[in-house]
Amino acid sequence: MRRIFFDNAATSWPKPESVYRVVEDYLRSNGAPAGRSVYREAGEADRIVSETRKKMARFIGAEDLSRIVFTASGTDALNLALQGTLRPGDHVITSVLEHNSVLRPLQALAQTRDVSVTHVPCSALGYVDPDLIQAEIRPNTKLIALIHASNVLGTIQPIESVGKIAQNHGVLFLIDAAQSVGYLPFDARELSADLIAFPGHKGLLGPLGVGGLYFAPGVEDQVRSVRQGGTGTKSESLDHPASMPEKFEAGNHNVPAIAGLGAGIEFLESLDIETQRTKHREMVDVLLAACREIDGISSYGPDEGLDRLGVISLSMANCDVQEFASLLDASFRIQVRSGLHCAPLAHKAIGTIASGGTVRFSFGHFNTDQDLQILVAALNEIAPLLIKP
Ligand SMILES: Cc1ncc(COP(=O)(O)O)c(C=O)c1O
């Protein structure tokens, strides 16, 4: 039976052939560290890192390649942004839709560094109202941190309006673009964003183990480095370099993952993101329409794909979400994620916390209409077996 992967919000699979190829090529034929030595392969490793940085900068509309800092993951980028900007006494505004990679660092900062945190609510369908954010701004508000698209509901948040509010009040604005980058076109220069965190392994199609943080020009001066170490530059100094991107990149780079990320971005550049987005919108509409016809299945978020990405949360009446997800894999090789998806406050907001969350279906660049038809047939087949009256 063919494996049908609908867990792309966790990490994307499969990857383009070129990603497999460059990772293997680097590991077999190169294997050198970047930015540290002068032999041929080391120079090539250096070039791989800098080319991917350039591609990444171009892809998200950054001013130049020095605006992109490589991290180990989306979580790592968010930790750098939050821990690097917030000081004792600061206030931060975020939302109930956030992932634990924002909620937990903020909780730790509240407990250890006297940072205060406001979680603004979302509507029943999963949207944050910019006016609610504006109403929470205080004299000591340092940062607004907002998810671009919910990893539970796929709902796309009004980041343009929130960015303008942040700018008008002189507050830093951090976007968690974990679910949107690679699936939604966006231009960093047109958003009033100071910091944009992203993983390399989801919509950008790179391997696990790489992410990044975009810094708007000058914002790096307001962010402390949270790790210091070797950079291969200014080695005579015990002070960590202040130049970009070294300021935030201590230690060896994950060159194979960065090589794969470069190939992933190149592949995306050969696609039309708008066409992919339309395809996902249509898939969302088809799945939601099919669910409306199946007794006992509930869906969360808006009824259509217009303002959401290809991420759908479902539950079945009186059926454990883990059982639902396990049966899909065991019987149909359909692979999804069940539970809270690391976003407990989002589940509180939509009323699914007590039942253990939802079953999440998330579409990737390689899912086909046939995958969707198989899924709809599977849901029709298993719903009568699983739903307990
Ligand atoms: C909204 C959101 N933010 C952050 C992350 C963390 O990204 P990573 O898995 O690369 O650490 C995820 C991952 O699921 C996510 O969905």
Task: Enumerate the domain spans of the chain.
Answer: 4-13+272-386, 17-269
Q: Long-range CB contacts (< 8 A, 24+ apart) of 44-50?
A: 45/255, 48/255, 48/258, 48/259, 48/262, 49/253, 49/255, 49/258
What's the whole-number average pLDDT of the chain?
96
* 75 within ligand 1 shell (Cβ under 6 A): yes
* pLDDT for res 378: 97
Q: Domain 4-13+272-386 adopts which CATH fold?
A: Aspartate Aminotransferase, domain 1 (3.90.1150)
Amino acid, res. 182:
G
CB distance 312 to 367 below 8 Å: no
- State the distance from the centre of ligand 1 to the C-alpha of 240, rounded, in angstroms: 28
* 199 within ligand 1 shell (Cβ under 6 A): yes
Q: Is the pLDDT reported for residue 351 higher than 80?
A: yes
Task: Report the alpha-carbon distance of residue 28 to residue 41 in Å, rounded.
Answer: 11
Cα–Cα nearest to 245, from 235, 256, 255, 232: 232
Question: What is the average pLDDT across 194-214?
Answer: 98
Q: Is the pLDDT reported for residue 334 higher than 80?
A: yes
Task: Report the alpha-carbon distance of residue 246 to residue 248 in Å, rounded.
Answer: 5
Question: What is the average pLDDT across 371-384?
Answer: 95
Question: What is the average pLDDT across 333-352?
Answer: 97
CATH of domain 17-269: 3.40.640.10
Question: What is the average pLDDT across 176-197?
Answer: 95
- Say what percent of the chain tops pLDDT 90: 94
DSSP result, 126-181:
S---HHHHHHT--TTEEEEEEESB-TTT-BBP-HHHHHHHHHHTT-EEEEE-TTTB
- State the distance from the centre of ligand 1 to the C-alpha of 145, rounded, in angstroms: 14
pLDDT tens digits, one per residue of 53-73 = 999 999 999 999 999 999 999
C-alpha radius of gyration, the chain, whole number: 21
CB distance 148 to 163 below 8 Å: no
- State the distance from the centre of ligand 1 to the C-alpha of 305, rounded, in angstroms: 21
Amino acid, res. 195:
L
- Say what percent of the chain tops pLDDT 70: 99
CB distance 50 to 65 below 8 Å: yes
DSSP result, 322-340:
HHHHHHHHHHH-EE-EEE-
Question: What is the average pLDDT across 37-64?
Answer: 97
* 99 within ligand 1 shell (Cβ under 6 A): yes
In this prediction the pTM is 0.97
Q: At 216, is the secondary structure helix, strand, or coil?
A: coil
Task: Report the alpha-carbon distance of residue 280 to residue 275 in Å, rounded.
Answer: 9
- State the distance from the centre of ligand 1 to the C-alpha of 170, rounded, in angstroms: 27
